[in-house]
Structure 1
Amino acid sequence: MGSGVHRDTAIARYADFELGSHYEPIFDISVHALAQSLSSAPESADRFGDELGFQAVTQLLNGAHVDTFDPFEHVSDDQELVALDRMSRAMHTINFFGAQRHGLLFLRVHERLLKSVRYDHGRHFSTVLISFGLNPSRIVIELPPAAVAHRTFLGYLTKSYQHYGFKVAGNLPNAGQILSVSDMARLDFIKMDAGAALRDSMVKPLVGYANRLRIPLIFNRVATEAQFDLLQQYDVRFVQGPLFVVNEHRAA
Protein backbone atom coordinates (compact mmCIF):
# COMPACT_ATOMS: atom_id res chain seq x y z
CA MET A 1 0.00 0.00 0.00
CA GLY A 2 1.10 3.53 -0.72
CA SER A 3 1.56 6.44 1.65
CA GLY A 4 0.33 10.02 1.80
CA VAL A 5 -2.21 10.74 -0.92
CA HIS A 6 -1.75 7.15 -2.17
CA ARG A 7 -2.30 5.50 1.21
CA ASP A 8 -5.60 3.89 0.13
CA THR A 9 -4.24 2.22 -3.01
CA ALA A 10 -1.75 -0.45 -3.89
CA ILE A 11 1.43 0.70 -5.61
CA ALA A 12 4.16 -1.20 -7.44
CA ARG A 13 7.87 -0.51 -7.15
CA TYR A 14 10.26 -1.12 -10.00
CA ALA A 15 13.87 0.07 -9.92
CA ASP A 16 13.67 3.72 -8.78
CA PHE A 17 10.05 4.16 -9.84
CA GLU A 18 6.74 3.88 -8.01
CA LEU A 19 3.82 2.93 -10.22
CA GLY A 20 0.12 3.45 -9.60
CA SER A 21 -3.23 2.87 -11.30
CA HIS A 22 -5.30 5.17 -13.48
CA TYR A 23 -8.59 4.15 -15.13
CA GLU A 24 -10.03 5.37 -18.42
CA PRO A 25 -13.80 4.83 -18.82
CA ILE A 26 -15.33 2.97 -21.76
CA PHE A 27 -18.83 4.31 -22.39
CA ASP A 28 -21.90 2.73 -23.93
CA ILE A 29 -23.33 5.85 -25.57
CA SER A 30 -26.38 4.05 -26.96
CA VAL A 31 -27.94 3.73 -23.51
CA HIS A 32 -29.05 7.34 -23.27
CA ALA A 33 -28.88 8.07 -27.01
CA LEU A 34 -27.16 11.41 -26.54
CA ALA A 35 -28.97 14.04 -28.54
CA GLN A 36 -26.59 16.84 -27.76
CA SER A 37 -22.91 17.14 -28.45
CA LEU A 38 -20.34 17.31 -25.70
CA SER A 39 -19.95 21.02 -26.37
CA SER A 40 -23.56 21.57 -25.31
CA ALA A 41 -23.20 22.37 -21.62
CA PRO A 42 -20.84 19.46 -20.79
CA GLU A 43 -20.44 20.75 -17.26
CA SER A 44 -24.10 19.89 -16.58
CA ALA A 45 -23.65 16.17 -17.33
CA ASP A 46 -21.59 13.74 -15.30
CA ARG A 47 -21.94 10.81 -17.70
CA PHE A 48 -21.95 10.13 -21.44
CA GLY A 49 -23.84 6.87 -21.14
CA ASP A 50 -23.41 3.76 -19.06
CA GLU A 51 -19.90 2.50 -18.43
CA LEU A 52 -19.08 -0.83 -19.99
CA GLY A 53 -15.95 -0.79 -17.87
CA PHE A 54 -12.55 0.80 -17.49
CA GLN A 55 -9.16 0.55 -19.15
CA ALA A 56 -6.30 0.38 -16.67
CA VAL A 57 -3.35 2.65 -17.38
CA THR A 58 -0.07 2.41 -15.49
CA GLN A 59 0.90 5.77 -14.03
CA LEU A 60 4.10 7.05 -12.53
CA LEU A 61 3.25 8.53 -9.15
CA ASN A 62 4.81 11.84 -10.19
CA GLY A 63 1.79 12.15 -12.50
CA ALA A 64 3.39 11.21 -15.84
CA HIS A 65 1.68 8.39 -17.72
CA VAL A 66 3.66 5.56 -19.24
CA ASP A 67 2.64 6.93 -22.63
CA THR A 68 5.24 9.59 -21.88
CA PHE A 69 7.69 7.34 -20.06
CA ASP A 70 7.19 3.60 -20.48
CA PRO A 71 9.03 1.54 -17.86
CA PHE A 72 8.82 -1.50 -20.14
CA GLU A 73 11.11 0.21 -22.63
CA HIS A 74 13.88 0.06 -20.03
CA VAL A 75 13.58 -3.70 -19.49
CA SER A 76 15.84 -5.70 -21.78
CA ASP A 77 15.46 -9.06 -20.02
CA ASP A 78 12.30 -10.88 -21.09
CA GLN A 79 11.73 -12.62 -17.76
CA GLU A 80 12.07 -9.31 -15.92
CA LEU A 81 9.52 -7.80 -18.29
CA VAL A 82 7.13 -10.71 -17.65
CA ALA A 83 7.41 -10.09 -13.90
CA LEU A 84 6.84 -6.34 -14.30
CA ASP A 85 3.85 -6.86 -16.60
CA ARG A 86 2.27 -9.34 -14.20
CA MET A 87 2.92 -7.09 -11.21
CA SER A 88 1.30 -4.10 -12.96
CA ARG A 89 -1.81 -6.09 -13.87
CA ALA A 90 -2.14 -7.45 -10.34
CA MET A 91 -1.84 -3.90 -8.94
CA HIS A 92 -4.53 -2.59 -11.30
CA THR A 93 -6.87 -5.44 -10.40
CA ILE A 94 -6.43 -4.99 -6.64
CA ASN A 95 -7.08 -1.25 -6.92
CA PHE A 96 -10.06 -1.78 -9.24
CA PHE A 97 -11.85 -4.26 -7.01
CA GLY A 98 -10.72 -2.49 -3.84
CA ALA A 99 -12.49 0.68 -4.97
CA GLN A 100 -15.60 -1.43 -5.73
CA ARG A 101 -15.78 -0.17 -9.30
CA HIS A 102 -18.50 -1.66 -11.46
CA GLY A 103 -18.24 -3.12 -14.94
CA LEU A 104 -15.31 -4.80 -16.63
CA LEU A 105 -11.61 -4.13 -16.18
CA PHE A 106 -9.59 -4.03 -19.42
CA LEU A 107 -5.93 -4.91 -18.92
CA ARG A 108 -3.31 -4.59 -21.65
CA VAL A 109 -0.79 -7.40 -22.00
CA HIS A 110 2.65 -6.53 -23.30
CA GLU A 111 3.58 -8.07 -26.64
CA ARG A 112 6.90 -9.39 -25.32
CA LEU A 113 5.15 -11.21 -22.48
CA LEU A 114 2.96 -13.03 -25.01
CA LYS A 115 6.09 -14.18 -26.85
CA SER A 116 8.07 -15.01 -23.71
CA VAL A 117 5.45 -17.22 -22.05
CA ARG A 118 5.35 -20.39 -24.13
CA TYR A 119 2.00 -21.91 -23.13
CA ASP A 120 -0.97 -21.71 -20.75
CA HIS A 121 -1.42 -17.95 -21.14
CA GLY A 122 -3.64 -16.76 -18.31
CA ARG A 123 -2.93 -19.63 -15.92
CA HIS A 124 -0.55 -17.69 -13.67
CA PHE A 125 -2.69 -14.54 -13.52
CA SER A 126 -5.86 -16.55 -12.87
CA THR A 127 -4.16 -18.33 -9.97
CA VAL A 128 -3.07 -14.98 -8.48
CA LEU A 129 -6.58 -13.51 -8.75
CA ILE A 130 -8.29 -16.54 -7.26
CA SER A 131 -5.82 -16.49 -4.34
CA PHE A 132 -7.08 -12.95 -3.60
CA GLY A 133 -10.70 -14.06 -3.97
CA LEU A 134 -11.11 -12.08 -7.22
CA ASN A 135 -13.14 -13.18 -10.22
CA PRO A 136 -11.28 -13.50 -13.57
CA SER A 137 -14.60 -13.22 -15.46
CA ARG A 138 -14.66 -9.45 -14.88
CA ILE A 139 -11.21 -9.06 -16.44
CA VAL A 140 -10.75 -8.41 -20.16
CA ILE A 141 -7.27 -9.27 -21.40
CA GLU A 142 -6.47 -6.81 -24.16
CA LEU A 143 -4.19 -8.14 -26.88
CA PRO A 144 -1.89 -5.79 -28.85
CA PRO A 145 -2.23 -5.26 -32.63
CA ALA A 146 0.88 -7.34 -33.34
CA ALA A 147 -0.80 -10.39 -31.80
CA VAL A 148 -4.10 -9.79 -33.60
CA ALA A 149 -2.26 -9.63 -36.92
CA HIS A 150 -1.25 -13.31 -36.60
CA ARG A 151 -4.37 -15.43 -36.98
CA THR A 152 -3.05 -18.69 -35.57
CA PHE A 153 -1.36 -17.05 -32.58
CA LEU A 154 -4.47 -14.98 -31.86
CA GLY A 155 -6.63 -18.09 -31.92
CA TYR A 156 -4.38 -19.84 -29.43
CA LEU A 157 -4.15 -16.82 -27.10
CA THR A 158 -7.91 -16.24 -27.12
CA LYS A 159 -8.73 -19.85 -26.29
CA SER A 160 -6.08 -20.01 -23.58
CA TYR A 161 -7.16 -16.86 -21.74
CA GLN A 162 -10.84 -17.78 -22.04
CA HIS A 163 -10.08 -21.25 -20.69
CA TYR A 164 -8.84 -19.63 -17.47
CA GLY A 165 -11.97 -17.51 -17.11
CA PHE A 166 -10.95 -14.23 -18.76
CA LYS A 167 -12.63 -12.31 -21.54
CA VAL A 168 -10.44 -11.25 -24.46
CA ALA A 169 -10.30 -8.07 -26.55
CA GLY A 170 -8.24 -7.67 -29.70
CA ASN A 171 -6.84 -4.37 -30.99
CA LEU A 172 -7.13 -4.30 -34.78
CA PRO A 173 -3.84 -3.31 -36.45
CA ASN A 174 -5.97 -1.94 -39.33
CA ALA A 175 -9.63 -1.91 -40.32
CA GLY A 176 -9.23 -4.70 -42.86
CA GLN A 177 -8.10 -7.13 -40.17
CA ILE A 178 -11.69 -7.44 -38.94
CA LEU A 179 -12.44 -9.60 -41.98
CA SER A 180 -10.34 -12.38 -40.44
CA VAL A 181 -11.93 -12.26 -37.01
CA SER A 182 -14.71 -14.72 -37.82
CA ASP A 183 -12.11 -17.35 -38.75
CA MET A 184 -10.32 -17.05 -35.41
CA ALA A 185 -11.26 -18.10 -31.92
CA ARG A 186 -14.14 -15.87 -30.91
CA LEU A 187 -13.04 -12.60 -29.34
CA ASP A 188 -15.28 -11.02 -26.70
CA PHE A 189 -14.47 -7.46 -27.87
CA ILE A 190 -12.82 -5.75 -30.82
CA LYS A 191 -11.06 -2.40 -30.46
CA MET A 192 -10.20 0.04 -33.22
CA ASP A 193 -8.46 3.41 -33.30
CA ALA A 194 -11.24 5.96 -33.94
CA GLY A 195 -8.98 8.46 -35.72
CA ALA A 196 -7.66 5.84 -38.15
CA ALA A 197 -11.15 4.49 -38.88
CA LEU A 198 -12.53 7.98 -39.55
CA ARG A 199 -9.57 8.95 -41.70
CA ASP A 200 -10.00 5.86 -43.88
CA SER A 201 -13.83 6.15 -43.99
CA MET A 202 -14.10 2.71 -42.41
CA VAL A 203 -16.41 3.37 -39.45
CA LYS A 204 -19.63 2.30 -41.18
CA PRO A 205 -18.17 -0.94 -42.66
CA LEU A 206 -16.57 -1.81 -39.32
CA VAL A 207 -19.82 -1.29 -37.40
CA GLY A 208 -21.75 -3.36 -39.94
CA TYR A 209 -19.31 -6.26 -39.93
CA ALA A 210 -18.97 -6.29 -36.14
CA ASN A 211 -22.77 -6.39 -35.85
CA ARG A 212 -22.88 -9.42 -38.16
CA LEU A 213 -20.22 -11.10 -36.01
CA ARG A 214 -22.12 -10.09 -32.88
CA ILE A 215 -18.88 -8.96 -31.27
CA PRO A 216 -18.94 -5.57 -29.48
CA LEU A 217 -16.75 -3.00 -31.23
CA ILE A 218 -15.05 -0.28 -29.16
CA PHE A 219 -13.67 2.82 -30.86
CA ASN A 220 -10.80 4.04 -28.70
CA ARG A 221 -8.49 7.06 -28.68
CA VAL A 222 -11.39 9.43 -29.32
CA ALA A 223 -9.66 12.77 -28.83
CA THR A 224 -11.98 15.50 -30.13
CA GLU A 225 -15.64 16.49 -30.10
CA ALA A 226 -15.63 16.41 -33.90
CA GLN A 227 -14.56 12.75 -33.87
CA PHE A 228 -17.24 11.94 -31.30
CA ASP A 229 -19.97 13.66 -33.35
CA LEU A 230 -18.94 11.75 -36.49
CA LEU A 231 -18.94 8.42 -34.68
CA GLN A 232 -22.48 9.03 -33.42
CA GLN A 233 -23.67 9.41 -37.02
CA TYR A 234 -22.70 5.78 -37.68
CA ASP A 235 -24.52 4.31 -34.65
CA VAL A 236 -21.30 3.55 -32.82
CA ARG A 237 -22.07 2.10 -29.41
CA PHE A 238 -18.84 1.93 -27.37
CA VAL A 239 -16.28 4.75 -27.13
CA GLN A 240 -13.13 5.45 -25.16
CA GLY A 241 -10.43 8.07 -25.19
CA PRO A 242 -8.90 11.28 -23.84
CA LEU A 243 -12.01 13.34 -24.69
CA PHE A 244 -14.16 11.50 -22.17
CA VAL A 245 -11.54 11.59 -19.43
CA VAL A 246 -11.20 15.37 -19.78
CA ASN A 247 -14.94 15.98 -19.77
CA GLU A 248 -15.49 13.51 -16.92
CA HIS A 249 -13.06 15.53 -14.78
CA ARG A 250 -14.72 18.77 -15.86
CA ALA A 251 -18.12 17.47 -14.81
CA ALA A 252 -16.98 16.11 -11.45
Structure 2
Amino acid sequence: MIAPSLPELVARAAEHPFLGAHIVLGEGEHAQQAIAHYRDLTVASAYEPIFDVGTHSFPQTLSASPESAERFGDELGLQALTLIEGDLPRDPFAHLDDDRELVALDRLSRALHAFNFFGRQRAGLLFLRVHERLLKSVKYDHGLHFSSVLLEFGINPSRVVIELPAAAVAHKTFLGYLTKSYQHYGFKVAGNLPNAGQIMAVSEMARLDFIKMDAAAALRDSVVKHLVGYAHRLKIPLIFCNVSDEAQFNALQQFDVHFVQGPVFDAHAGTAR
Protein backbone atom coordinates (compact mmCIF):
# COMPACT_ATOMS: atom_id res chain seq x y z
CA MET A 1 0.00 0.00 0.00
CA ILE A 2 1.59 3.27 -1.20
CA ALA A 3 0.26 6.25 0.68
CA PRO A 4 -1.01 9.33 -1.19
CA SER A 5 1.23 12.39 -1.41
CA LEU A 6 1.19 14.99 1.35
CA PRO A 7 -0.95 17.48 -0.63
CA GLU A 8 -3.41 14.69 -1.41
CA LEU A 9 -3.62 13.70 2.26
CA VAL A 10 -4.25 17.29 3.35
CA ALA A 11 -6.87 17.71 0.63
CA ARG A 12 -8.63 14.57 1.81
CA ALA A 13 -8.41 15.77 5.41
CA ALA A 14 -10.49 18.82 4.47
CA GLU A 15 -13.47 16.47 4.17
CA HIS A 16 -12.83 14.77 7.51
CA PRO A 17 -15.18 15.89 10.33
CA PHE A 18 -12.32 16.41 12.82
CA LEU A 19 -9.01 16.65 10.97
CA GLY A 20 -10.41 19.04 8.37
CA ALA A 21 -10.88 21.72 11.00
CA HIS A 22 -7.23 21.63 12.02
CA ILE A 23 -4.72 20.28 9.45
CA VAL A 24 -3.40 22.48 6.63
CA LEU A 25 -0.32 22.71 4.45
CA GLY A 26 2.29 24.89 6.13
CA GLU A 27 3.92 28.01 4.76
CA GLY A 28 7.20 29.81 5.41
CA GLU A 29 9.27 27.84 7.90
CA HIS A 30 6.69 25.06 7.74
CA ALA A 31 6.66 24.84 3.94
CA GLN A 32 6.47 21.34 2.44
CA GLN A 33 4.90 19.88 5.55
CA ALA A 34 1.49 19.71 7.15
CA ILE A 35 0.76 21.56 10.38
CA ALA A 36 -2.23 21.63 12.68
CA HIS A 37 -3.94 24.52 14.44
CA TYR A 38 -5.63 23.63 17.71
CA ARG A 39 -7.10 26.53 19.66
CA ASP A 40 -4.16 28.96 20.04
CA LEU A 41 -1.52 26.33 19.34
CA THR A 42 0.35 25.41 16.18
CA VAL A 43 1.43 21.76 16.08
CA ALA A 44 4.24 20.60 13.79
CA SER A 45 6.21 17.39 13.24
CA ALA A 46 9.86 16.54 13.71
CA TYR A 47 11.52 13.13 13.50
CA GLU A 48 14.41 11.46 15.32
CA PRO A 49 16.07 8.54 13.50
CA ILE A 50 16.49 5.12 15.10
CA PHE A 51 19.68 3.51 13.81
CA ASP A 52 20.86 -0.08 13.62
CA VAL A 53 24.50 0.29 14.64
CA GLY A 54 24.94 -3.47 14.58
CA THR A 55 25.98 -3.29 10.94
CA HIS A 56 29.76 -3.21 10.71
CA SER A 57 30.29 -1.61 7.30
CA PHE A 58 30.97 1.81 8.79
CA PRO A 59 33.15 3.31 11.55
CA GLN A 60 31.73 2.60 15.00
CA THR A 61 32.34 6.11 16.27
CA LEU A 62 30.63 9.46 16.14
CA SER A 63 34.00 11.08 15.55
CA ALA A 64 34.21 9.73 12.01
CA SER A 65 34.14 12.49 9.44
CA PRO A 66 30.89 13.02 7.52
CA GLU A 67 32.81 12.29 4.33
CA SER A 68 33.60 8.75 5.46
CA ALA A 69 30.29 7.92 7.15
CA GLU A 70 27.13 9.83 6.30
CA ARG A 71 24.88 7.42 8.18
CA PHE A 72 25.00 5.18 11.23
CA GLY A 73 24.13 1.92 9.52
CA ASP A 74 20.57 1.10 8.53
CA GLU A 75 17.61 3.11 9.71
CA LEU A 76 14.95 1.11 11.51
CA GLY A 77 12.60 4.07 11.34
CA LEU A 78 11.80 7.46 12.76
CA GLN A 79 10.47 8.58 16.13
CA ALA A 80 7.90 11.34 15.70
CA LEU A 81 8.34 14.39 17.92
CA THR A 82 5.52 16.86 18.54
CA LEU A 83 6.56 20.50 18.20
CA ILE A 84 4.23 22.97 19.86
CA GLU A 85 4.12 26.69 19.20
CA GLY A 86 1.88 28.92 21.31
CA ASP A 87 1.30 30.20 24.82
CA LEU A 88 1.36 26.85 26.58
CA PRO A 89 4.57 25.12 27.76
CA ARG A 90 6.38 22.69 25.46
CA ASP A 91 4.27 19.82 26.79
CA PRO A 92 0.71 21.18 26.69
CA PHE A 93 -0.72 17.72 27.29
CA ALA A 94 0.20 17.96 30.96
CA HIS A 95 -1.75 21.21 31.25
CA LEU A 96 -5.01 19.99 29.72
CA ASP A 97 -7.34 19.15 32.56
CA ASP A 98 -10.15 17.93 30.33
CA ASP A 99 -9.44 14.39 29.14
CA ARG A 100 -11.53 14.96 26.02
CA GLU A 101 -9.26 17.84 25.05
CA LEU A 102 -6.19 15.72 25.65
CA VAL A 103 -7.57 12.84 23.58
CA ALA A 104 -8.35 15.23 20.73
CA LEU A 105 -4.89 16.82 20.74
CA ASP A 106 -3.14 13.46 21.07
CA ARG A 107 -5.07 11.96 18.16
CA LEU A 108 -4.57 15.09 16.07
CA SER A 109 -0.80 15.01 16.67
CA ARG A 110 -0.47 11.37 15.68
CA ALA A 111 -2.52 11.87 12.50
CA LEU A 112 -0.37 14.89 11.62
CA HIS A 113 2.86 12.93 12.12
CA ALA A 114 1.51 10.09 9.97
CA PHE A 115 0.63 12.52 7.16
CA ASN A 116 4.08 14.10 7.22
CA PHE A 117 5.80 10.71 7.34
CA PHE A 118 3.83 8.73 4.77
CA GLY A 119 2.97 11.71 2.57
CA ARG A 120 6.69 12.29 2.01
CA GLN A 121 7.13 8.59 1.14
CA ARG A 122 9.60 7.99 3.95
CA ALA A 123 11.02 4.49 4.42
CA GLY A 124 10.98 2.30 7.53
CA LEU A 125 8.71 2.41 10.54
CA LEU A 126 7.00 5.37 12.18
CA PHE A 127 7.19 5.33 15.99
CA LEU A 128 4.34 7.29 17.61
CA ARG A 129 4.05 7.95 21.32
CA VAL A 130 0.63 7.67 22.92
CA HIS A 131 -0.17 9.69 26.03
CA GLU A 132 -0.77 7.82 29.28
CA ARG A 133 -4.02 9.67 29.96
CA LEU A 134 -5.40 8.76 26.57
CA LEU A 135 -4.80 5.11 27.38
CA LYS A 136 -6.85 5.54 30.54
CA SER A 137 -9.55 7.70 28.96
CA VAL A 138 -10.29 5.24 26.16
CA LYS A 139 -11.95 2.30 27.87
CA TYR A 140 -11.62 -0.42 25.23
CA ASP A 141 -10.63 -1.17 21.63
CA HIS A 142 -7.37 0.77 21.84
CA GLY A 143 -6.15 1.32 18.28
CA LEU A 144 -9.56 1.03 16.59
CA HIS A 145 -10.04 4.77 16.03
CA PHE A 146 -6.52 5.50 14.78
CA SER A 147 -6.43 2.42 12.56
CA SER A 148 -9.72 3.44 10.92
CA VAL A 149 -8.36 6.94 10.29
CA LEU A 150 -5.16 5.65 8.69
CA LEU A 151 -7.00 3.18 6.47
CA GLU A 152 -9.43 5.90 5.40
CA PHE A 153 -6.44 7.90 4.14
CA GLY A 154 -4.74 4.93 2.47
CA ILE A 155 -2.04 4.48 5.11
CA ASN A 156 -0.95 1.01 6.25
CA PRO A 157 -1.07 0.64 10.09
CA SER A 158 1.51 -2.17 9.94
CA ARG A 159 4.27 0.41 9.44
CA VAL A 160 3.23 2.32 12.55
CA VAL A 161 4.67 1.46 15.97
CA ILE A 162 2.55 2.61 18.89
CA GLU A 163 4.93 3.46 21.72
CA LEU A 164 3.53 2.83 25.20
CA PRO A 165 4.74 4.98 28.11
CA ALA A 166 6.64 3.51 31.06
CA ALA A 167 3.63 3.91 33.36
CA ALA A 168 1.61 1.55 31.17
CA VAL A 169 4.44 -0.98 30.87
CA ALA A 170 4.69 -1.09 34.68
CA HIS A 171 1.24 -2.72 34.92
CA LYS A 172 1.48 -6.26 33.58
CA THR A 173 -2.20 -6.92 32.94
CA PHE A 174 -2.80 -3.51 31.34
CA LEU A 175 0.32 -3.94 29.20
CA GLY A 176 -0.90 -7.29 27.94
CA TYR A 177 -4.32 -5.91 27.05
CA LEU A 178 -2.95 -2.81 25.30
CA THR A 179 -0.40 -4.77 23.28
CA LYS A 180 -2.96 -7.28 22.01
CA SER A 181 -5.50 -4.57 21.23
CA TYR A 182 -3.14 -2.40 19.18
CA GLN A 183 -1.71 -5.43 17.40
CA HIS A 184 -5.25 -6.61 16.61
CA TYR A 185 -5.83 -3.39 14.70
CA GLY A 186 -2.66 -3.82 12.67
CA PHE A 187 -0.08 -1.82 14.63
CA LYS A 188 3.26 -2.85 16.03
CA VAL A 189 3.85 -2.00 19.68
CA ALA A 190 6.89 -0.75 21.59
CA GLY A 191 7.08 -0.51 25.36
CA ASN A 192 9.27 1.87 27.36
CA LEU A 193 10.75 0.06 30.35
CA PRO A 194 10.35 2.01 33.62
CA ASN A 195 13.35 0.04 34.93
CA ALA A 196 15.52 -2.83 33.79
CA GLY A 197 13.70 -5.42 35.89
CA GLN A 198 10.44 -4.70 34.10
CA ILE A 199 11.73 -6.52 31.04
CA MET A 200 10.59 -9.73 32.80
CA ALA A 201 6.96 -8.65 32.35
CA VAL A 202 7.40 -8.51 28.59
CA SER A 203 7.50 -12.29 28.32
CA GLU A 204 4.84 -12.87 30.97
CA MET A 205 1.99 -10.62 29.82
CA ALA A 206 2.72 -9.12 26.42
CA ARG A 207 4.53 -9.99 23.22
CA LEU A 208 5.87 -6.56 22.38
CA ASP A 209 7.39 -5.91 18.96
CA PHE A 210 10.05 -3.58 20.41
CA ILE A 211 11.45 -2.74 23.84
CA LYS A 212 12.86 0.70 24.62
CA MET A 213 15.15 1.62 27.50
CA ASP A 214 16.70 4.93 28.53
CA ALA A 215 20.40 4.71 27.72
CA ALA A 216 21.60 6.84 30.64
CA ALA A 217 19.62 4.81 33.18
CA ALA A 218 20.84 1.49 31.78
CA LEU A 219 24.46 2.61 31.81
CA ARG A 220 24.18 4.13 35.28
CA ASP A 221 22.77 0.90 36.71
CA SER A 222 25.21 -1.30 34.75
CA VAL A 223 22.40 -3.37 33.23
CA VAL A 224 23.09 -2.96 29.51
CA LYS A 225 24.62 -6.43 29.13
CA HIS A 226 21.75 -8.01 31.09
CA LEU A 227 19.12 -6.24 29.00
CA VAL A 228 20.76 -7.08 25.69
CA GLY A 229 21.05 -10.76 26.65
CA TYR A 230 17.47 -11.08 27.86
CA ALA A 231 16.03 -9.23 24.86
CA HIS A 232 18.05 -11.55 22.60
CA ARG A 233 16.48 -14.58 24.30
CA LEU A 234 13.03 -13.04 23.87
CA LYS A 235 13.84 -12.30 20.20
CA ILE A 236 12.52 -8.75 20.64
CA PRO A 237 14.56 -5.80 19.31
CA LEU A 238 15.85 -3.56 22.10
CA ILE A 239 16.27 0.15 21.42
CA PHE A 240 18.40 2.31 23.70
CA CYS A 241 16.89 5.79 23.51
CA ASN A 242 17.87 9.28 24.67
CA VAL A 243 21.55 8.72 23.85
CA SER A 244 22.80 12.19 24.72
CA ASP A 245 26.54 12.22 24.06
CA GLU A 246 29.42 10.35 22.46
CA ALA A 247 30.53 8.82 25.77
CA GLN A 248 27.17 7.07 26.13
CA PHE A 249 27.26 5.90 22.53
CA ASN A 250 30.76 4.46 22.91
CA ALA A 251 29.83 2.76 26.18
CA LEU A 252 26.83 1.07 24.55
CA GLN A 253 29.06 -0.27 21.77
CA GLN A 254 30.82 -2.53 24.28
CA PHE A 255 27.68 -4.67 24.71
CA ASP A 256 26.62 -5.65 21.19
CA VAL A 257 23.86 -3.03 21.16
CA HIS A 258 22.06 -2.82 17.82
CA PHE A 259 19.40 -0.09 17.97
CA VAL A 260 19.99 3.44 19.27
CA GLN A 261 18.37 6.84 19.07
CA GLY A 262 18.85 10.20 20.73
CA PRO A 263 19.84 13.83 20.38
CA VAL A 264 23.53 12.97 19.99
CA PHE A 265 22.84 11.84 16.42
CA ASP A 266 21.20 15.08 15.32
CA ALA A 267 24.55 16.75 14.68
CA HIS A 268 25.86 13.73 12.76
CA ALA A 269 22.91 12.32 10.85
CA GLY A 270 23.28 14.50 7.78
CA THR A 271 20.47 13.72 5.35
CA ALA A 272 19.21 10.72 7.33
CA ARG A 273 16.37 12.68 8.86
Q: Is TM more than 0.5 here? A: yes
1:114 to 2:138 alignment? no
Matches for 1:224-239 after TM superposition, within 5 Å: 224-239=245-260
Amino acid at match of 2:116: N
Pair 1:5-2:29 in alignment: yes
| Structure 1 segment 150-165 matched on structure 2, within 5 A | 150-165=171-186
Aligned position for 2:64: 40
Q: Which residue of 1 aligns with 2:189?
A: 168
Secondary structure of 2:46's counterpart equals strand
Partners of 1:177 and 1:251 lie apart in 2 by 32
Shift of 1:42: 4.3
Amino acid at match of 2:83: Q
Does the aligned pair in 1 maintain the 2:36–2:42 contact within 8 Å? yes
The one of 240, 248, 271 equivalent to 1:219 is 240
Distance of aligned partners of 1:242 and 1:132 in 2 relative to their CA distance in 1, 3 Å threshold: same
TM-score, normalised relative to structure 1:
0.94
User: Are the counterparts in 2 of residues 45 and 251 from structure 1 also a CA contact under 8 Å?
Assistant: no
**Residues 35, 5 of structure 1: CA spacing in aligned structure 2 closer, same or farther, 3 A cutoff?**
closer
Residues 183-198 of structure 1: pairs in structure 2 closer than 5 A: 183-198=204-219
Counting only pairs closer than 5 Å after superposition, residues 65-214 of structure 1 correspond to structure 2 as 69-214=90-235
Deviation at 1:33, TM superposition (A): 5.1
- Counterparts of 1:180 and 1:158, CA distance in 2: 12
Q: Is the 1:43–1:250 contact (alpha carbons within 8 Å) kept by the matching residues of 2? A: no
Deviations 1:180-213 (A, max 9, x none): 2110120000000000000000000000000000
Deviations 1:75-111 (A, max 9, x none): 1100110010000000000000011110000000000
Measure, in 2, the Cα distance between the counterparts of 1:96 and 1:241.
19
Alpha-carbon distance, 1:46 to partner: 1.5
Identical columns (%): 70
Write the distance in 2 (CA, Å) between the matches of 1:251 and 1:14. 30
User: Any runs of at least 4 consecutive aligned residues in structure 1 with deviations exceeding 6 A, and if so which?
Assistant: none
Equivalent position amino acid for 1:22 in 2: A
- Where structure 2 has 5 or more consecutive residues not aligned to the other structure, the ranges are 1-24
Please give the alpha-carbon distance, in whole angstroms, between the structure 1 residues aligned to 2:102 and 2:92: 9
Task: Note if contact 2:71-2:270 (Cα within 8 Å) is conserved in structure 1.
Answer: no
Aligned residues: 249
Q: Which amino acid aligns with 1:58?
A: T
Pick from 55, 60, 72: which aligns with 2:84? Answer: 60
Range with greater deviation from structure 2 (203-212 or 39-48):
39-48
Distance in 1 between residues matched to 2:60 and 2:26, nearest whole Å: 41
One-letter identity of the residue aligned with 2:65:
A
Distance 2:150 2:233 in 1: 34
Conserved in 2, the CA contact under 8 Å of 1:43 and 1:251?
Answer: no
Tell me how large the CA RMSD over aligned residues is.
1.9
Distance (whole Å) between structure 2 residues aligned to residue 134 and residue 58 of structure 1: 20
Matching residue within 33, 55, 71 for 1:31? 55
Contact kept in structure 1, 2:239 and 2:258, CA below 8 Å: yes
- The letter of the residue matching 1:165 is G
CA distance in 2: counterparts of 1:15 and 1:150, whole angstroms:
34
Q: How far did 1:34 drift?
A: 4.2
Distance (whole Å) between structure 2 residues aligned to residue 22 and residue 251 of structure 1 = 13
Letter in 2 for 1:77: D
In 2: Cα distance, 1:84 partner to 1:2 partner: 18
Secondary structure at the counterpart of residue 137 of structure 1: helix
- In the superposition, the TM-score normalised over structure 2's length comes to 0.87
Residue 44 of structure 1 and its aligned partner are, at CA, apart by 4.0
